């Protein structure tokens, strides 16, 4: 019981340390009102930046995937021509289709 009373008194000591009522220890002094006004705005900015970052990340991976698949298709087409599996006319026609 004494430990609980000591813990409660130690939590209340900053308030008791200001007998004149200046308030520099109870409401954190100046700037507290500014934090209350601009705090939500700051969190909206942070949330907006997170959303923009996630959208940018997924768009980068989406574009990279299409580019890689087109490059691998062109590389496969080049290899088929080099192995003699397709004729140069067919190669040219397919390359035009892939280029788009």
Profile the chain (100 residues) by mean pLDDT over runs of 10 residues: 69 56 52 66 92 92 66 86 89 85
Q: What is the pLDDT of residue 56?
A: 92
Quote the pTM value.
Answer: 0.37
Q: What is the pLDDT of residue 97?
A: 86
User: How many domains is the chain built from?
Assistant: 2
| 16 and 54 together in one domain | no
Q: What is the pLDDT of residue 53?
A: 96
| 22 and 45 together in one domain | no
| 52 and 72 together in one domain | yes
| 56 and 87 together in one domain | yes
Are 61 and 67 spatial neighbours (Cβ–Cβ below 8 Å)?
Answer: no
Domain that includes residue 16, residue range? 1-30
Contacts of 81 (CB under 8 A, 6+ apart): 88, 91
| 5 and 26 together in one domain | yes
């Amino acid at each position: 019981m004494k430990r609980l009373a000591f813990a409660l008194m130690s939590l209340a000591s900053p308030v008791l340390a200001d007998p004149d009522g200046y308030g520099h220890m109870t409401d954190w002094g100046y700037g507290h009102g500014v934090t209350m006004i601009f705090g939500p705005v700051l969190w909206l900015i942070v949330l907006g930046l997170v959303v923009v970052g996630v959208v940018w990340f997924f768009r980068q991976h989406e574009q990279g995937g299409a580019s890689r698949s087109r490059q691998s298709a062109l590389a496969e087409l080049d290899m088929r021509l080099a192995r003699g599996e397709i004729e140069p006319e067919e190669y040219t026609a397919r390359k035009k289709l892939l280029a788009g």
